């Protein structure tokens, strides 16, 4: 524990972790011949595969955790609190840079960069205000100021570039993300819908009617946008066609980042008898089923989602990627005009129900409704496979239901004096938890929390499978509980 260290011993221990982690990364680069990307080079984005090397991923986690804790330890508290209380300005500034197409403009300008007044001229915004915005972002390592008021892309800002021609974007801003699969669509969602919703988070928490509600339209998003519709209902309105399209691209870009092993490992798909049915519940266009269908062709698959997705986007995706699966009937696309995931599940012979990043969209009551419908349709041999993020306890030394196989692997294990949960290195899970709550009344959950909602819906959580060194995409396996 960190309290066994004196303050100066803790600083030196953190510095040692940083140096040792750099040594580990350097050894991997030397052994594999891979280069570590430069923060200052836009082309460094092409070298991101180095972070997929397990040794680098682990060393990066420790390095980020140690460096962040070191900053927290040595910076005066007043400065820390001022910065933390004002950090909302960063997503606000990032949203402006995205909407003003700054990454694309700077890519076309080349390595010599462009003056702020020339960047601003593309969209007619005020150049003095843009200079302050880009200065804030550059000071947070997004963009690079090469001479006063002249900026260029670096590795981080290059990741915001859709790759499209600036003139084409400006001529039709609504099609900015069409055909791109750009993660920037997600960052724009978070710097608009997420940012505005977060500003009303406290209003919901302290409202007597809203604080205990799990309804999807009793959220900070509803207050921010003055609507009674749940987020997904709001997106479906014709006047929000751009936001809906942006959200679809955002979700597809996240799915595209999923390593195949996240889907294929941790459950013995090969052991299922030939012709067994796997149901991908709320599976979108079926991108995760695609991974399974390509590797385990002895199984049959049913992808369930909204009728519009199943009738338009999903057939286009499958006919382009794996047309044989559809034509042979090995994969079926089932729209919600056939069923609703909160209503009776029509498939009663499933070997497995599969849900990835679905349960975190919903409060406990709604999650239990979804899982209860699956339990009612399950056979004694049906397996429930849920892939979601899991929140680790910050305290680390905590019983994570020792009777559940693999649950202890989710227990934070960072060496002292690091925070047991690796602190800022795993901040993304906690931030996503807040985002899901603010916009959907959903949440990320701990392993015991998942065990409780499994139990309340008639399932028993029997195994937890982790991949890599983070707490995203953790697979939880459930079996029907005894009646």
CB burial string 369-403: b at 16+ within 10 A, e below: ebbbbbbebbeeebbbbbbbbbbbbeebeeebbee
Segments of the chain with pLDDT less than 50: 1-2, 483
Tokens (6 digits) for 386:
């849920």
**CB contact at 8 A, 396 and 411:** yes
* Residue 350, strand partner residues: 277
Q: 55 is written with which tokens?
A: 């040794």
Tens of pLDDT, residue by residue over 63-118, are: 999 999 999 999 999 999 999 999 999 999 999 999 999 999 999 999 999 999 99
Which of 252, 360, 435, 472 is the catalytic position? 360
pLDDT in tens, 253-307: 887 667 888 899 999 999 999 999 999 999 988 999 999 999 999 999 999 998 8
The answer to whether the CB of 265 falls within 8 A of the CB of 467 is yes
For the CA atoms of 353, 355, 358, 363, what is the dihedral angle to 10 degrees?
50
Give the up-direction half-sphere exposure of residue 458: CA atoms within 13 A in the CB hemisphere: 16
What values do phi and psi take at 396, rounded to 5? 80, -65
pLDDT of residue 339: 63
What is the distance between the alpha carbons of residues 429 and 445, in angstroms, rounded to a whole number?
10
For residue 449, indicate whether it is catalytic.
no
Q: Which two tokens stand for residue 88?
A: 């909302």
- pLDDT for the residue 403: 82
pLDDT of residue 297: 96
pTM equals: 0.93
Q: How many beta carbons lie within 10 A of that of residue 148, not counting itself?
A: 9
Q: Which phi and psi (to 5°) does residue 286 adopt?
A: 95, 25
CA distance 422 to 69: 9
- Nearest C-alpha neighbor of 169 from the set 109, 104, 92: 104
CA dihedral 389, 186, 66, 137 (to 10 degrees): -160
Q: Are 352 and 259 in contact (CB under 8 A)?
A: no
Pick from 439, 446, 441, 375: nearest CA to 411: 446
Do the beta carbons of residue 114 and residue 105 sit within 8 Å? yes
Structure tokens at 123: 């969209």
The sign of the dihedral angle between the CA atoms of 401, 406, 410, 411 is positive
Maximum Cα–Cα distance across the chain = 71
């Amino acid at each position: 524990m960190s309290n066994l260290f004196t303050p100066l011993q803790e600083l030196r221990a953190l510095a040692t972790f940083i140096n040792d982690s750099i040594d580990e990364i350097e050894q991997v680069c030397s052994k594999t011949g891979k280069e570590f990307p430069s923060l200052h080079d836009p082309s460094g984005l092409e070298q991101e595969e180095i972070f997929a090397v397990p040794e680098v991923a682990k060393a990066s986690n420790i390095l980020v955790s140690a460096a962040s804790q070191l900053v927290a330890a040595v910076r005066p508290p007043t400065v820390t609190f001022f910065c933390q209380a004002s950090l909302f300005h960063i997503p606000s500034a990032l949203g402006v840079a995205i909407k003003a197409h700054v990454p694309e403009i700077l890519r076309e300008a080349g390595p010599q960069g462009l003056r702020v007044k020339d960047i601003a001229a593309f969209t007619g915004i005020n150049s003095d205000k843009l200079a302050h915005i880009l200065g804030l972002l550059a000071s947070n390592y997004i963009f690079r100021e090469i001479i006063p008021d002249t900026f260029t892309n670096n590795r981080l800002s290059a990741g915001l570039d859709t790759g499209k021609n600036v003139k084409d974007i400006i001529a039709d801003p609504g099609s900015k993300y069409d055909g791109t699969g750009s993660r920037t669509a997600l960052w724009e969602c978070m710097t608009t819908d997420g940012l505005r919703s977060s500003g009303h988070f406290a209003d919901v928490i302290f409202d007597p009617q809203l604080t205990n509600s799990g309804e999807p339209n009793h959220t900070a998003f509803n207050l921010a946008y003055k609507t009674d519709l749940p987020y997904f209902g709001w997106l479906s309105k014709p006047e929000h066609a751009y936001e809906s399209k942006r959200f679809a691209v955002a979700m597809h870009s996240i799915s595209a980042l999923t390593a195949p092993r996240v889907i294929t490992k941790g459950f013995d798909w090969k052991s299922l008898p030939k012709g067994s049915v796997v149901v991908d519940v709320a599976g979108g266009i079926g991108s995760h089923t695609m991974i399974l269908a390509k590797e385990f062709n002895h199984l049959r698959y049913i992808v369930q989602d909204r009728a519009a997705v199943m009738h338009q986007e999903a057939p286009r995706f499958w006919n382009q990627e794996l047309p044989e699966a559809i034509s042979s009937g090995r994969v079926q696309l089932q729209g919600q005009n056939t069923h609703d995931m909160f209503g009776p599940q029509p498939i009663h012979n499933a070997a497995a129900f599969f849900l990835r990043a679905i349960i975190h969209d919903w409060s406990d009551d709604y999650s239990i409704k979804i899982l209860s419908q699956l339990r009612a349709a399950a056979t004694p041999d049906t397996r429930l496979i849920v892939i979601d993020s899991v929140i680790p306890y910050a305290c680390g030394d905590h019983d994570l239901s020792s009777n559940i196989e693999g649950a202890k692997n989710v227990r934070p294990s960072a060496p002292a004096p690091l925070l047991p949960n690796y602190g800022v290195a795993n901040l993304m899970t906690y931030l996503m938890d807040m985002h899901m709550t603010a916009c959907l009344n959903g949440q990320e959950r701990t392993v015991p929390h998942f065990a409780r909602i499994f139990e309340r819906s008639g399932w028993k959580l029997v195994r937890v499978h982790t991949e890599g060194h983070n707490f995203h995409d953790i697979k939880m396996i459930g079996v029907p509980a005894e009646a």
